């Protein structure tokens, strides 16, 4: 088993984990189609520029798409790595996968709206027009209520997507004996679970702040905790993974 772990690799980019997923499954094929549709939704509102000024605006607003694209691709990478590592296709995994794909589709618009809002703030452009209500529509007392809902939608999308990813990691851990995971693979499985839970907890904190009536801006600033929290935990878990890997090499 140790020799199989050390030498029977599926990809050099994931050298510490044996890949149990062989050919692309129907679950993965469906997921790729959903991700493609989601990426299409991110750019569907962009029309072909008819003037240089429109082209300039499209180029200037490119970071909006880049940020949204990066978030969707990060979720795709987690999903891809999960099915390559574990190759699970049981009913529970299929059910969780279906929920995950639905949430990815839901995430497209809140993600793009949030990215647009932040980019306009960075540029110093006005954001008031983003919260203009149709004539005769009453929604809260002001644009403040809409901004609070915006943060709530974004937090719900993050909690849903990464919460389901955490449940999928938990499912893999529960089947660790059937999958014949060794100590290093168990550690990496739990590491992935904790990483997803960190994201979920930060998003939940943001949502609680919105519900408690805090400024929507504060509910957004809290997401800056993700970098330090993931970085510190990743460094600690990485050291543990290196020790386990060395133990396997010396066995």
Instruction: Using a pLDDT cut of 70, give the percent of the chain over it.
Output: 90
What local confidence, expressed as pLDDT, does residue 40 receive?
83
**Torsion (CA) 222, 195, 164, 75 in degrees, nearest 10:** 80
- Residue 13: predicted pLDDT: 62
Confidence (pTM)? 0.85
DSSP string for residues in 197-231? HHHHHHHHHHHHHHHTT--HHHHHHGGGGHHHHHH
Q: Are 38 and 107 in contact (CB under 8 A)?
A: yes
Residue 122: its pLDDT value, please? Answer: 82
Residue 17 burial class via C-beta count within 10 angstroms: exposed 0-12, middle 13-18, buried 19 and up: buried
pLDDT of residue 186: 95
Indicate if the pLDDT at residue 45 is higher than 80. no
- Residues 162-214 have pLDDT tens digits of 999 999 999 999 999 999 999 999 999 999 999 999 999 999 999 999 888 77
pLDDT of 6 over the 50 cut? no
Domain of 238, in residue numbers: 2-250
Determine the length of the chain.
251
Residue 3's pLDDT is: 44
3 state SS of 63: helix
pLDDT class of 93 with cuts at 50, 70, 90: very high
Q: Are 131 and 146 in contact (CB under 8 A)?
A: yes
Q: At residue 14, does pLDDT exceed 90?
A: no
Q: Rounded mean pLDDT of the chain?
A: 84
DSSP assignment, residue 130? G
Give residue 110's pLDDT: 83
d(CA 49, CA 24): 38
Q: What is the pLDDT of residues 59-84, one digit of tens each?
A: 888 888 888 888 889 999 999 999 98
Tokens representing 119 are 């980019």
Residue with the bigger pLDDT between 98 and 141: it is: 98
Q: How many CA atoms lie within 13 A of 38 on its CB side?
A: 27
> Quick count: other Cβ atoms within 10 Å of Cβ 92?
13
Domain count, the chain: 1
């Amino acid at each position: 088993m140790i020799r199989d772990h050390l030498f029977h690799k599926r990809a050099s980019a994931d050298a510490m984990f044996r890949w149990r997923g062989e050919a692309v499954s129907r679950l993965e094929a469906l997921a790729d189609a959903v991700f493609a549709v989601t990426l299409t939704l991110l750019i569907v509102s962009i029309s072909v520029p008819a003037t240089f000024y429109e082209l300039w605006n499209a180029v200037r607003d490119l970071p909006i798409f880049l940020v949204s694209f990066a978030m969707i691709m990060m979720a795709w990478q987690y999903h891809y790595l999960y099915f390559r590592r574990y190759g699970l296709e049981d009913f529970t995994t299929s059910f969780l996968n279906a929920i995950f794909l639905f949430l990815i589709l839901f995430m497209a618009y809140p993600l793009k709206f949030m990215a647009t809002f932040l980019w306009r703030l960075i540029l110093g452009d006005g954001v008031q027009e983003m919260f203009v209500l149709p004539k005769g529509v009453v929604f809260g007392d002001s644009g403040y209520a809409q901004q609070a809902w915006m943060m709530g939608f974004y937090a719900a999308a993050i909690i849903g997507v990464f919460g389901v990813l955490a449940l999928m990691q938990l499912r893999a851990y529960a089947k660790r004996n059937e999958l014949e995971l060794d100590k290093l693979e168990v550690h990496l499985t739990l590491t992935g679970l904790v990483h997803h839970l960190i994201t979920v907890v930060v998003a939940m904190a943001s949502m609680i702040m919105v519900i408690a009536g805090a400024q929507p801006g504060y509910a957004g600033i809290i997401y800056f905790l993700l970098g330090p929290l993931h970085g510190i935990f990743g460094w600690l878990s990485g050291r543990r993974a290196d020790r386990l890997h060395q133990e396997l090499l010396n066995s």
